[in-house]
Amino acid sequence: MRPPRISLRRHLSRLAEIPRLFAPATLPRGWDEDDPAIRNARHQIEVQQFFHTRLPTFDMPCCLLDKEGESVYFGDSDFRPARLMLPEVNEHGISISEHANHIVVLLELRRYWNNPPSGAAWLALSVGPRFFDAMTSDSGLTNSEYQLVTGLLSGLDLKQVAERLNASYDTKRKQLQIIFQKFGVTSQAALIRLISTRLMGYFIETLSRPVSEKPERKLLARHYGSDVLVHSVALESGKELPVWEFGDRRGRSCILFHGLISPTILCEEKVAILRQHGLRWIVVPRFSLPAPQGPIPSAFWIATPMRWPNMSGTSSASQ
């Protein structure tokens, strides 16, 4: 019979091996370890892609702000504030403010969109005078009347608005009566309530529009299922560049810019082979370059042979 101390010692030695056996595997260099310039560039790409692919089409200028209120992306909009004063977060995630005597509506991204980019926190929309044309019984609001309405919507009282606009209180009080007539209301509270209701109705209608799924995405999902990641990159022009990914998501990236609509590898086990060799195959379909200019256009197309890993794990030159 084995002595109790020897058996206990063996059990303890086996228990000591457990932490080593379950030690976490070393992951590849991740997002947070990237160079700050590369990380910032990736954040900016995420913000641009969100702006052009996930936001509905608003018929008013808009921009994205970070959590400090600084603008991070404008698109083609002329509404380009460097920084906006952010409101306190409320349960609705929407607030009305003003900037440069213009009405600004702020929407908190996480309240209305799933997984917004980390570099953006608010959507700011500039509501111009033309928005009120359909609400008034006359020819819309004059610039002076619009500035008065902007001040009231931002939370100022009539006296404060008059002081900010360098006008007398009586002048603005008379002007407010004209605005009441145009909107068909009899009090300041009714005016604010009417405009706020119309703004909310506009955003609810715009945000509830269904986003059409492209047939190309459906086709790829049906053919490859979870083996393909389909997304797009938003360009500065506002156009989308489709991108398809196969293989190991954390593997070495191999990028193929292809002119055809559906480039493919003629191999049934291509996804398994890519994963086996730690490759992340990124395809940009329908990619084309402008025609070369100059006296020797053929020199434009001279390419240097690239070295790609073959199936045996070594590298070979691709001519």
Report yes or no on 169 lying in a domain: yes
Report yes or no on 204 lying in a domain: yes
Query: Based on the domain organization, do 220 and 177 belong to the same domain?
Result: no
pLDDT of res. 259: 60
Flag whether pLDDT at 317 surpasses 60: no
Rounded CA separation 276/252 (Å): 12
Query: Based on the domain organization, do 260 and 279 belong to the same domain?
Result: yes
128-181: pLDDT as tens digits: 998 988 888 767 899 999 999 999 998 899 999 999 999 999 999 999 999 999
Interacting residues of 1 by C-beta distance below 8 A, sequence separation 6+: none
Query: Based on the domain organization, do 202 and 216 belong to the same domain?
Result: no
Query: Based on the domain organization, do 170 and 235 belong to the same domain?
Result: no
201-250: pLDDT as tens digits: 888 888 887 665 566 677 777 777 777 787 777 666 666 777 888 888 77
Weakest-pLDDT range from 18-27, 37-46, 229-238: 18-27
106-131: pLDDT as tens digits: 999 998 888 899 889 999 999 999 89
Report yes or no on 14 lying in a domain: no
Looking at 96, 127, 158, which one is the last position of a domain?
Answer: 127
CATH of residue 138: 1.10.10.10
Query: Based on the domain organization, do 40 and 113 belong to the same domain?
Result: yes
Look up the pTM and report it.
Answer: 0.60
Residue that wins the pLDDT comparison between 311 and 37 = 37
Report yes or no on 6 lying in a domain: no
Tokens of 115: 């997984």
Flag whether pLDDT at 296 surpasses 50: no
Query: Based on the domain organization, do 109 and 141 belong to the same domain?
Result: no
Query: Based on the domain organization, do 49 and 97 belong to the same domain?
Result: yes
Query: Based on the domain organization, do 68 and 107 belong to the same domain?
Result: yes
Rounded CA separation 74/236 (Å): 10
Mean pLDDT over each residue of the chain, to the nearest integer: 76
Flag whether pLDDT at 78 surpasses 60: yes
Arithmetic mean of pLDDT, 268-290: 74
Q: What is the DSSP string of the chain?
A: ---HHHHHHHHHHHHHHHHHHTPPPPPPP-GGGS-HHHHHHHHHHHHHHHHHHTS---SS-EEEE-TTSBEEE-TT-S---SB-PPPPP-TT-EEEEEETTEEEEEEEHHHHSSS--TT--EEEEEE-GGGGGGG-SSS---HHHHHHHHHHHTT--HHHHHHHTT--HHHHHHHHHHHHHHHT-SSHHHHHHHHHHHHHHHHHHHHTSPPPPPHHHHHHHHHHGGGEEEEEEE-TTS-EEEEEEEE-TTSEEEEEE-SSSS---S-TTHHHHHHHTTEEEEEETT---PPP-SS-GGGGG----EEEE-TTSSEEEE-
Flag whether pLDDT at 313 surpasses 60: no
State how far the alpha carbon of 271 is from the alpha carbons of 161, 188, 278, 279, 316, in Å: 65, 65, 11, 9, 20
Query: Based on the domain organization, do 135 and 165 belong to the same domain?
Result: yes
Task: Report percent pLDDT > 70 for the chain.
Answer: 70
Query: Based on the domain organization, do 261 and 219 belong to the same domain?
Result: yes
Instruction: Please return the burial class of 63, using the count of CB atoms within 10 Å of its CB with bins 0-12, 13-18 and 19+.
Output: buried
pLDDT of res. 17: 63
Arithmetic mean of pLDDT, 283-299: 52
Looking at 127, 149, 169, which one is the last position of a domain?
Answer: 127
Query: Based on the domain organization, do 196 and 242 belong to the same domain?
Result: no
Whether the Cβ atoms of residue 96 and residue 154 lie closer than 8 Å to each other: yes
CATH of residue 59: 3.30.450
Domain that residue 276 falls in: 212-288
Query: Based on the domain organization, do 58 and 83 belong to the same domain?
Result: yes
Work out how many domains the chain is built from and give that number. 3
Report yes or no on 308 lying in a domain: no
Task: Report percent pLDDT > 90 for the chain.
Answer: 28
Arithmetic mean of pLDDT, 97-111: 91
Report yes or no on 230 lying in a domain: yes
pLDDT of res. 311: 41
Flag whether pLDDT at 256 surpasses 60: yes
Report yes or no on 280 lying in a domain: yes
Residue that wins the pLDDT comparison between 86 and 266 = 86
Report yes or no on 299 lying in a domain: no
Rounded CA separation 99/117 (Å): 25
